[in-house]
């Protein structure tokens, strides 16, 4: 067995099994040598020898290794006139911070004269003291303070440094630092092996020891020291990023930009950087020294702090030049990391002195800056004033909980902070659909025009900065920080999505939860394969529609309702036309009205006043007391389990009739224009087959005929002279529906699992109130995950049962998941592998994350097969 593995720029190579015994640092050095890069020469001692080093003599191998270093560097180890110094690195396969490097080995009073001629006598004695200090602290665990005390007793001139060295030698022990350079080398090696090899823990994988020559960047103006990244670690731009110092021992202060380096060296470093990227298939960090015009590469390593953007752009560039394949590129990025390419991030340097409120839940990720307002109408008014005056229009809504009337403010604002709710409550869901930022912080106290937390008070009009990352708790900074904005067309995301989509198969795709044309455009850009959930209630939240919709809800008669619905139908038709056209040829699933009616009604005096003014402008003279009485009559104690979804349609069938007419009118118009689409109409909150049959087929009772979806379709097709295919399905969001799926499938051509409500109704947990007690469940490990983010086992079982029973009745039944769980990789794996669903649907800005999770699962499955 070879005892040492020499390396140099000559290009030594070793077998893979040998490389495993050289530790991380040793392998990195030899990998540079394999590429014939000018690495400072050295050798690695086989890790199997480490346990034996303290007791056996390996002098012959060590001397042979030193000869190779001497030839490469041009100095001789132990020579009094021109001494070679070396460093020893504990090279483990583990990346742990306590493994040391001992520099300046071979420096002693014997070699001091020659080394002094290189860097000066004072600096040479300082380096000797540094060697002694390293030996004492890293090998013998002598406290740093004891060396500090010695230094404090002497001046920093040559004589002072000599006295420091003498006292430090006594502290470390003369036997542990011999004056003879080779004996010193052997003793340090033995003591390092003794100190850093643990027979119990390291028996299977002991650390190796790397010995490498030392070169110096402080030998005049023709010498320098520096480091660089092979490309910009933030933007991924293909140009070196780093710094260097002329005539300096270390890069211990701000240096010059690496691009200002002499052209000959810069060109060589660029070539080396490109070669290293190709070898390691990623952006890397490189350290170098120029010693008297000779370029040396000291080390290269991975870059943990590189941005996702830089990583992806590097991978895409390597793929384009043929260094890596597309499947390998797709496998390198954890899905959740893509969120950093979709949202702004806070510039950390701008946070100095800004107080922070930490904690809560990231409802919708990203970063936002704006003035806070505690009422949607005041925010809208301030936004209009800011536009007219040319002032800052960035604003943040702060509410206890958000409702329909707040959507307009969330839409124009930068984000929303709420005190109640969770990941699947109203404010986060709306924010994710609009690409806004949402933080839910249950511990903030919201007053009339302020909020407080631990004595910190933020008043209306004050600036806050919202920092809501994906994989750590969010932070609200009570001041104005700077943001770094993303551009998906330059940061590599759109190109990466294109690569990811190559590994999406027809048997499982990702659709979008999208409610308006603008959402559909974003979804197409993000790579969606259709719309799996259009929440039609969101179409009525817009400021120019909410009052008309309120008028319909508060109408006192059927005729009044129909009149308003006829007024709304052209708007609905236009909405559906946009969605179908933008998303063609992919499918669009439209969920008929689901939200409880009370969500649309005025909730305070300001909103009620606005509604009364709306009626007056239409020539209607409303009675405020009568309107208030109707609002109170529609109030429900538990609206999420009350009058919503298909129950509204059974009570007021004219509402669904208006929506269905709008769908078919838009679809037939597109058919005439040559655009083929297959509308998918979804009926929500169904609990038994009778409801589904009633709404699909209609019903005649006591001389009254209620039109079903099929009746309306026939009317429109006859009227327009067009026939087209369509599907009717249901959202399975109640345990009763899941268990009755065999019967539901007689009338439904697809199921979509609404896992937000299915989680609520299965566990008996309110998604709006869970945060008041869930921290205790987390603390005591009573639930492994937040069930509104990661599907619970009971919910999974209901989906599995439903899918199985549904497909027994209808083998070609299409199955999808459209709850907020749709972007989580673990949920996606369940949908693909266990329940054999056809798609998941998620908010537009989560689509790339879901696509990547699906692609990686497909690649994993292909490799397993």
Q: Which of 311, 343, 383, 426 is catalytic?
A: 426
What distance in Å separates the CA atoms of residue 1 and residue 256, rounded to the nearest whole number?
47
Transcribe 390-425 into DSSP letters: T----EEEEESS--GGGHHHHHHSSEEEESS--TTS
What is the C-alpha to C-alpha distance for residues 551 and 612, in angstroms, rounded to an integer? 10
Task: Centre a 10 Å sphere on the Cβ of residue 748 and count the other Cβ atoms it contains.
Answer: 29
783: Cα separation from own chain's centroid: 24
Residue in this structure with the two tokens 């991975």, named with its chain if needed: 302
The two three-digit tokens of residue 572, written as one number: 């609905």
Taking the CB of residue 860, how many other CB atoms lie within 10 A of it? 12
The angle subtended at Cα 701 by Cα 635 and Cα 537, nearest 5°, is 35
236 has binding-site annotation: no
- Could you tell me the sign of the dihedral formed by the alpha carbons of 320, 322, 327, 330, in that order? negative
Catalytic, 818? Answer yes
Residue 591 assigned to a binding site = yes
Q: Which of 383, 818, 821, 831 is catalytic?
A: 818
Q: How far apart are CA 436 and CA 202, in angstroms?
A: 50
Is-contact 859 852, C-beta < 8 A? no
As a whole number of angstroms, the distance between CA 648 and CA 662 comes to 18
Q: Check whether 232 is labelled as a binding-site residue.
A: no
Question: Scanning the structure block, which residue is given the tokens 């298939």?
Answer: 281
Nearest alpha carbon to residue 497 among 333, 712, 629, 293: 333
Cβ burial, residue 458 (10 Å; 0-12/13-18/19+): buried
Token reading at 274:
């490109």
What is d(CA 271, CA 273) in angstroms, rounded to the nearest whole number? 5
Residue 55 in 3-state DSSP? coil
Phi and psi at 132, nearest 5°, equal -65, -40
Residue 41 DSSP class:
P
Residue 604 counted as an annotated binding residue? no
Q: What is the chain's length?
A: 865
Q: Is 755 annotated as contributing to ligand binding?
A: yes
CA neighbours within 13 Å on the CB side: how many for 261? 31
Does 754 show up as a binding residue in the annotation?
yes
Task: Tell whether 756 is in a known binding site.
Answer: yes
Distance CA 184, CA 104 (A): 11
- Known binding residues are 535, 591, 733, 754-757
Residues serving a catalytic function are: 426, 818
- Known binding residues for Mg(2+) are 733, 757
């Amino acid at each position: 067995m070879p005892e040492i593995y020499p390396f140099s720029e000559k290009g030594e190579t070793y077998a893979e099994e040998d490389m495993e015994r050289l530790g991380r640092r040793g392998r990195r050095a030899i990998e540079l040598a394999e590429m014939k890069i000018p690495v400072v020469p050295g050798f690695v001692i086989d890790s199997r020898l480490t346990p034996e080093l303290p007791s056996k003599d390996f002098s012959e191998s060590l001397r042979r290794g030193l000869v190779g270093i001497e030839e490469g560097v041009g100095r001789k180890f132990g020579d009094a006139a021109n001494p070679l110094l070396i460093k020893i690195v504990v090279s483990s396969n583990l990346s742990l911070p306590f493994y040391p490097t001992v520099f300046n080995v071979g420096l002693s009073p014997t070699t001091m004269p020659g080394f002094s001629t290189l860097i000066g006598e004072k600096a040479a004695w300082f380096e000797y003291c540094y060697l002694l200090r390293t030996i004492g602290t890293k090998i013998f665990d002598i406290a740093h303070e004891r060396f500090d005390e010695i230094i404090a007793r002497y001046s920093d001139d040559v004589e002072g440094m000599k006295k420091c060295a003498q006292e430090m030698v006594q502290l470390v022990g003369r036997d542990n630092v011999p004056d003879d350079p080779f004996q010193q080398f052997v003793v340090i090696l033995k003591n390092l092996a003794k100190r850093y090899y643990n027979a119990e823990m390291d028996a299977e994988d002991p650390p190796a020891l790397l010995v490498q020559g030392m070169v110096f960047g402080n030998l005049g103006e023709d010498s320098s020291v520096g480091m660089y990244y092979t490309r910009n670690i933030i933007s991924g731009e293909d140009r070196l990023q780093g710094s260097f110092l002329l005539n300096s021992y270390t890069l211990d202060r701000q240096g010059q930009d690496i691009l200002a380096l002499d052209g000959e060296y810069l060109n060589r470093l660029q070539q080396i950087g490109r070669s290293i990227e190709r070898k390691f298939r990623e952006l890397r960090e490189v350290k170098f020294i120029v010693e008297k015009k000779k370029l040396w590469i000291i080390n290269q390593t991975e870059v943990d702090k590189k941005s996702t953007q830089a990583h992806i752009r590097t991978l895409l560039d390597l793929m384009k030049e043929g260094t890596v394949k597309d499947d390998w590129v797709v496998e390198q990025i954890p899905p959740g990391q893509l969120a950093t390419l979709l949202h702004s991030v806070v510039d950390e340097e701008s946070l100095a002195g800004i107080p922070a409120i930490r904690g809560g839940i990231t409802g919708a990720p990203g970063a936002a800056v704006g003035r806070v307002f505690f009422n949607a109408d005041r925010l809208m008014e301030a936004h209009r004033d800011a536009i007219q005056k040319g002032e800052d229009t960035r604003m943040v809504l702060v509410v206890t909980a958000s409702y329909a009337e707040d959507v307009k403010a969330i839409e124009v604002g930068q984000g929303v902070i709420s005190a109640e709710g969770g990941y699947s409550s109203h404010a986060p869901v709306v924010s994710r659909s609009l690409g806004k930022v949402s933080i839910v912080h249950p511990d903030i106290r919201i007053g009339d025009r302020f909020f407080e937390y631990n004595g910190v008070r933020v008043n209306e009009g004050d600036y806050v900065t919202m920092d809501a990352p994906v994989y750590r708790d969010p932070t609200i900074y009570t001041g104005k920080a700077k943001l770094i904005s993303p551009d998906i067309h330059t940061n590599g995301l759109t190109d990466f999505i294109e690569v990811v989509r190559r590994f999406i198969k027809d048997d499982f795709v990702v659709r979008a939860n999208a409610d308006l044309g603008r959402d559909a455009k974003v979804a197409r850009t993000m790579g969606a394969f259709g719309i799996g959930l259009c929440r039609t209630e969101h179409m009525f939240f817009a400021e120019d529609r909410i009052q008309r919709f309120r008028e319909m809800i508060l109408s006192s008669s059927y005729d009044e309702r129909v009149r308003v619905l006829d007024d709304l139908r052209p708007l609905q038709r236009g909405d559906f036309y946009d969605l179908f056209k933008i998303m063609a040829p992919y499918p669009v699933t439209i969920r008929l009205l689901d939200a409880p009616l009370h969500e649309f009604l005025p909730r305070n005096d300001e909103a009620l006043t606005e509604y009364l003014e709306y009626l007056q402008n239409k020539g209607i003279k409303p009675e405020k007391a009568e309107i208030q009485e109707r609002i109170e009559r529609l109030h429900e104690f538990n609206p999420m389990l009350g009058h919503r979804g298909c129950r509204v349609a059974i009570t007021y069938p004219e509402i669904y009739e208006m929506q269905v007419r709008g769908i078919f009118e838009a679809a037939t118009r597109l058919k005439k224009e040559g655009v083929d689409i297959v509308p998918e109409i979804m009926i929500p909150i169904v609990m038994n087959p009778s409801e589904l049959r009633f709404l699909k087929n209609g019903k005649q009772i006591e001389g009254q005929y209620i039109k079903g979806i099929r009746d309306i379709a026939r009317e429109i097709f006859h009227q327009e002279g067009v026939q087209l295919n369509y599907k009717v399905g249901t959202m399975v969001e109640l345990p009763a529906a899941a268990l009755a799926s065999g019967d539901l499938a007689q009338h439904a051509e697809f199921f979509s699992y609404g896992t937000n409500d299915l989680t609520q109704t299965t566990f008996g947990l309110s998604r709006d109130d869970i945060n008041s007690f869930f921290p205790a469940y987390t603390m005591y490990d009573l639930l492994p995950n937040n069930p509104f983010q990661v599907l619970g086992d009971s919910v999974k079982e209901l989906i599995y049962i439903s899918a199985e029973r549904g497909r027994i009745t209808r083998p070609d039944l299409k199955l999808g998941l459209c709850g907020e769980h749709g972007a989580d990789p673990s949920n996606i794996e369940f949908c693909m592998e266990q329940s054999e669903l056809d798609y998941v649907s998620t908010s537009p800005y989560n689509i790339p994350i879901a696509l990547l999770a699906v692609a990686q699962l497909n690649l994993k499955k292909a490799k397993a097969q």
